[in-house]
């Protein structure tokens, strides 16, 4: 998928971005499916398996927020992966979760708003959140497993522009996303100790 400017992206293109991010992430993690997923994901105090569970929870949660549209709270639906299922089947679960979010994004009218602690947002905002979760935690897990994957830059560009409007421009978008989320240094910018995105509508 070719990176687009934010002004040219609609709900359909944002939904496609979520699905593509899930495909790219699960494709690389499939290569490490037979490894030890009880080891920690890179830079986290979670195991690789726990991080995968967090992905399923977050992505379905974003879809639920967009559907229920609460004004001041999380939804009460919590999604989880079968703890007894093999990793390959769990990766299928991540792709299912991404498609649920993509459907919610496509179906949300332009004026739909829903609560998130980091800014009430719209369909594209929740799609960007899903993309960031998939790519960043995909890199966390892949590094923990020794796969050394870098998320495709064309997927990182719109997510960074949508959720991190103050991020430096002109740098590698993948490294910028890692910097935005406290996982890397950028030339002239120290590593972030604390971070959050801005999900408010733009």
Per residue in 126-165, pLDDT (tens digit) is 999 999 999 999 999 999 999 989 999 999 999 999 999 9
Query: Is 190 among the domain residues?
Result: no
Query: Is 193 among the domain residues?
Result: no
Q: Write out pLDDT tens, residues 72-129.
A: 999 999 999 999 999 999 999 999 999 999 999 999 999 999 999 999 999 999 999 9
Tell me the DSSP string of the chain: -----GGG--HHHHHHHHHHHHHHHHHHHHTTTTS-TTSBPTTSSSBHHHHHHHHHHHHHHHHHHHHH--SSS--S------TTS-HHHHHHHHHHHHHHHHHHHHHS-TT--B--TT--B-HHHHHHHHHHHHHHHHHHHHHHTT------HHHHHHHHHHH-TTSPSSS-HHHHHHHHTTS--BTTBPPPSS-----S--
CA-to-CA distance for 115 and 65, rounded, in angstroms? 7
**Count: domains in the chain:** 1
CA-to-CA distance for 153 and 48, rounded, in angstroms? 23
Query: Is 195 among the domain residues?
Result: no
> What is the reported pLDDT for 202?
87
Least confident of 23-27, 133-137, 186-190: 186-190
Global pTM value: 0.95
In terms of residue numbers, what domain contains 153? 15-180
CA angle 26–29–32, rounded 5-degree value: 150
Side-chain-side CA neighbours of residue 182 (13 Å): 9
> What is the reported pLDDT for 171?
78
CA-to-CA distance for 52 and 102, rounded, in angstroms? 19
Q: Write out pLDDT tens, residues 171-185.
A: 799 999 999 999 999
* pLDDT > 90: percent of the chain: 90
Closest by Cα among 51, 65, 49 to 101: 65
8 CB burial (10 A radius; 0-12, 13-18, 19+) = exposed
* Mean pLDDT of the region 50-58: 97
Query: Is 33 among the domain residues?
Result: yes
- Hey, what are 127's tokens? 């799609």
> What is the reported pLDDT for 4?
55
CATH number at residue 30: 1.20.120
Query: Is 75 among the domain residues?
Result: yes
Query: Is 2 among the domain residues?
Result: no
Q: Write out pLDDT tens, residues 2-19.
A: 455 566 799 999 999 999
Query: Is 143 among the domain residues?
Result: yes
Query: Is 192 among the domain residues?
Result: no
> What is the reported pLDDT for 6?
62
**pLDDT confidence of 51, banded at 50, 70, 90?**
very high
């Amino acid at each position: 998928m070719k990176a687009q400017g934010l002004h040219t992206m609609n709900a359909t293109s944002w939904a496609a971005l979520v699905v593509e991010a899930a495909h790219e992430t699960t494709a690389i993690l499939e290569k490490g499916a037979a490894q030890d997923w009880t080891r920690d994901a890179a830079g986290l105090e979670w195991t690789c398996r726990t991080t995968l569970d967090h992905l399923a929870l977050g992505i379905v949660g974003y879809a639920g927020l967009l559907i229920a549209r609460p004004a001041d709270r999380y939804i009460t639906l919590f999604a989880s992966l079968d703890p007894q299922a093999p990793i390959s089947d769990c990766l299928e679960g991540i792709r299912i979760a991404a498609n649920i979010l993509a459907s919610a994004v496509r179906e949300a009218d332009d004026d739909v708003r829903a609560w998130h602690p980091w800014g009430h947002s719209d369909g594209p905002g929740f799609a960007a959140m899903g993309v960031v979760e998939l790519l960043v935690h995909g890199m966390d897990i892949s590094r923990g497993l020794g796969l050394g994957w870098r998320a495709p830059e064309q997927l990182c560009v719109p997510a960074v522009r949508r959720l991190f409007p103050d991020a430096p421009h002109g740098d590698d978008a993948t490294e910028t996303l890692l910097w935005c989320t406290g996982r890397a240094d950028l030339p002239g910018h120290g590593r972030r100790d604390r971070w959050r995105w801005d999900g408010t509508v733009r």
